[in-house]
A and B are shown apart, each in its own frame.
Chain A
Amino acid sequence: NAGVTQTPKFQVLKTGQSMTLQCAQDMNHNSMYWYRQDPGMGLRLIYYSASEGTTDKGEVPNGYNVSRLNKREFSLRLESAAPSQTSVYFCASSPWDHRETQYFGPGTRLLVL
């Protein structure tokens, strides 16, 4: 039981490049989330998926797209990376009936030059 896994762990991009961050959970959770954490700040919600087949914008969605591929997987795509997207990205999941408890992945550290 791996919980929430994220790949890659670390990535360097040049401005304008694209990439997809992968997230998978094996806890059979309905809901999944993508956050970013900038230095000295708490997490900010980018997008979330309440259940398979649905996605919604969070606090800071601009510059990102998401795909809920199936119940297990929720990916985050940067179409044209910008230096302002340098951050640590966390994926999380929660059960439908206990949304207060989010289980987080280990994070992806992204540097955009």
Chain B
Amino acid sequence: AQKITQTQPGMFVQEKEAVTLDCTYDTSDPSYGLFWYKQPSSGEMIFLIYQGSYDQQNATEGRYSLNFQKARKSANLVISASQLGDSAMYFCAMREGTGGFKTIFGAGTRLFVKA
């Protein structure tokens, strides 16, 4: 069965520093997609970044990058130059197959950015 694990319930980072949020996954399907979403205190879910299991390079979107280590089954999110507005819950998620619809989410990591 597919599973997403986020072991850090909460993280603190100083403004302007980089932070890594951990995510490990488990699946027997060779084809899958990995995502990160941000949920601010206002409650909406915001898509950040996507990595396909066959993608050769790590995904990047602005200050976000996904450190994809397939052999270790990890998909850590790296946020560079943290900003106060980055304070939020962050969820790692996985979708079965490259064309599937079912997505499972981890329990989330709450990030606090300190001024």
Check A31–B101 contact: CB distance below 8 A: yes
B contact patch SS: strand
CB distance from A104 to the nearest CB of B (A): 4
Bitwise, A37-51 to B at CB < 8 A (1) or not (0) is 000111111001010
Given A99-B95, A100-B35, A100-B95, A42 contacting B106 (CB threshold 8 A) = yes
Check A107–B91 contact: CB distance below 8 A: no
Interface residues in B43-71 by Cβ distance below 8 A to A read 43-47, 50, 52
Nearest opposing residue in chain A for B51, CB measure: A100
Check B102–A40 contact: CB distance below 8 A: no
Check B102–A101 contact: CB distance below 8 A: no
Interface size on B, residues (CB 8 A): 23
Partner of B101, one of A56, A106, A107: A56
Interface residues in B25-44 by Cβ distance below 8 A to A read 33, 35, 43-44
Assess whether A87 is interfacial by the CB under 8 Å rule. Answer: no
CB distance from A11 to the nearest CB of B (A): 15
CA distance A33 to B45 in the complex (A): 13
Check B102–A48 contact: CB distance below 8 A: yes
CB distance from B26 to the nearest CB of A (A): 15
Interface residues in B78-115 by Cβ distance below 8 A to A read 91, 93, 95, 99-108
Bitwise, A71-113 to B at CB < 8 A (1) or not (0) is 0000000000000000010101000000111111111000000
Given A42-B4, A42-B91, A42-B93, A88 contacting B102 (CB threshold 8 A) = no
Query: What are 13 A-B residue pairs whose CB atoms fall within 8 Å in the complex?
Result: A31-B101, A42-B4, A42-B93, A42-B107, A43-B45, A44-B104, A44-B105, A45-B102, A99-B95, A99-B99, A99-B101, A102-B47, A103-B47
CB distance from A17 to the nearest CB of B (A): 24
